[in-house]
Amino acid sequence: MRRLMAYLNPLNRLGVKRYSPIFPFLTTLLFGILSEIYTVVILKDPDSVGMYAIFLFLGIIVYFSFRNGILGGVAATTVTIGYYAYIIVSRNAPHQQKIVQWETTAVLATFYMLLAFVIGWLKQRIDLLIESEADERRRLQAIVEQLPVGVVITDNKGIVIQANRQLETIMGMKFPRGFIAGKNLPLHTAHKGKEITAAQAPLAAALSTGIAVVGKEFMLKRKDGREVYIRISASAIHNKEGKIIAAASIIHDITQQKENEKRKDDFVNMASHELKTPITSIRLYLDSLILKMKNASDKNAEKTLQSIRYQTERLQELVSDLLDVSRLQTGKLSFTKENFHINELVKETIEQLQATAKHHSLKLTAPPAIRVYADKFRIYQVVTNLITNAIKYSPGGTAITVRIRKQKNNAVISITDQGIGIAKDQHAKIFQRLYQVVGSKEKTFPGLGMGLYISKEILKRHGGRIWVESEIGKGSTFFFRLPLAKKKQEG
């Protein structure tokens, strides 16, 4: 019964370009025969066929024009007119009346034909439109399916509508109907491997906030036991009124790239360790030699040895920076936090650096005793790096001012130099790993671009941050912020 209803429902045939006149022809004929049986056999009153035949067949013509197009409508109309003619011929009405009946039939025939053409034509136009839209959709689906990156598209509730082949290869699983993006996916953070919640999954996050997630890295534990690293970008899709109607996400497999990075980090880590031991030994031997030379009072030889010692120290700093970068990359840099006076630490660092910076004058302005909660050695490293940079990048030899102040629950430390300065478009970049401002002038400065990256990462892990204000040629001020000492442990 349901199938018969579906077959008869003309709406089910929208977009289906099948316009056969056979079914309309036969059905209309059947109605004509039934009408004859009803009036002639059952009612035994052939003349009772009248108004109802006009409305019944009008309905049939409209129905078939809409169901089967122009051909369907014309077939139904032809049978109807044939039947009307049969009625006129088979009933014995007076001649005058017959002429009127023929005239009425001619008018009705014209009207029915017109109706069949107009409705049939409209139906065929709709079919064409639906078909071209479906074509467009199919083409888009085929493109998405064959893209070399993983793609998943969901509705506004996060239910997966389409997931392409590449995504299923990456994930090692099929996406069953009704699968909710993010849910039941063993997604972990790429760095520490911590499992994330369904709400933190990029698609879910993009859907709930409307803000796009760009290039976030995750680790996925597949059912087959493999761990794959993926980079996901997800974004909510809005309609013209700004309402979220869907979400889409692109997934890259970056496992290979991660493995290469790890190999490189392991190498840097190992190389730094290997280098550290001989350098430390050289320094120790030098120290003992310097002592011996002092006693022997050969001033020239002592000077040479001092230079070698200075160079060895630089080498040692470089190696330890390399080690720090590698530890940061692998998440192995550890911190021991305590409460301490930042003023004292900065003061001591300045005194130490002033001893070697003959052409610069280092000044400190600070209110009395500000205590912070941090890793003392790591903060010493940050301050040293910023003051060393201030000295290095103001070759003219000028004043360098260090300021400390309180701001809400933080201590803000600033280091101002009057050196070469940094162009605005470089301000964010200089904190990236191994980034150096390249320019004919700047190239003359030694360094590997690790200091600011290490400083930024150290501060990030303290809940603080670092930033710069600078104009090219007018010097720079580097700021960093640290949380003040914890109340409980104070006093």
What ranges in 91-197 are assigned the alpha helix state H? 95-146, 165-171
Stretch that binds ligand ADP, among 247-255, 296-304, 396-404, 450-458 (CB under 6 A): 450-458
The reply on whether position 419 binds ligand ADP by CB under 6 A is yes
CB count in 10 Å sphere of residue 204: 22
Residues binding ligand ADP: number (CB under 6 A):
22
Is the distance from CB of 237 to CB of 246 less than 8 angstroms?
yes
Smallest gap from Cβ 250 to ligand ADP, in A, equals: 32
* Cα angle for residues 313, 318, 322 (degrees, 5° grid): 145
**Beta carbon of residue 453, minimum distance to ligand ADP (angstroms, whole number):** 6
The CB-of-388 to ligand ADP minimum distance in angstroms stands at 8
Q: Exactly one of 36, 217, 265, 442 binds ligand ADP (CB under 6 A); which one?
A: 442
Q: Is 459 in the site for ligand ADP (CB under 6 A)?
A: no
Indicate the residue among 226 and 441 with the shorter CB distance to ligand ADP.
441
- Three-class SS of residue 222? coil
Helix (H, G, I), strand (E, B) or coil at 22: helix
Under DSSP, the state recorded for 195 is: B
Concatenated DSSP letters of 359-399: T-EEEEE--S--EEEE-HHHHHHHHHHHHHHHHHT-TT--E
Q: Is 430 in the site for ligand ADP (CB under 6 A)?
A: yes
Q: 287: which 2 tokens? A: 């120290």
Contact range with ligand ADP by CB under 6 A, out of 9-17, 171-179, 185-193, 415-423: 415-423
Distance CA 164, CA 268 (A): 39
**DSSP of 267-324:** HHHHHHHHHHHHHHHHHHHHHHHHHHHHHHT-HHHHHHHHHHHHHHHHHHHHHHHHHH
**Nearest approach, Cβ of 420 to ligand ADP (angstroms)?**
5
Q: How far is the CB of 456 from ligand ADP (least distance, A)?
A: 9
The one among 152, 357, 413, 422 contacting ligand ADP by CB under 6 A: 422
Q: Please name the residue that has the structure tokens 């994930």.
A: 171
Nearer to ligand ADP, 24 or 449 (CB): 449
Residues 385-414 that bind ligand ADP (CB under 6 A): 385, 389-390, 393
Is position 315 an interface residue for ligand ADP (rule: CB under 6 A)?
no
Check residue 236 for interaction with ligand ADP (CB under 6 A): no
Which residues bind to ligand ADP, rule: CB under 6 A? 385, 389-390, 393, 417, 419-422, 430, 435-437, 442, 447-453, 476
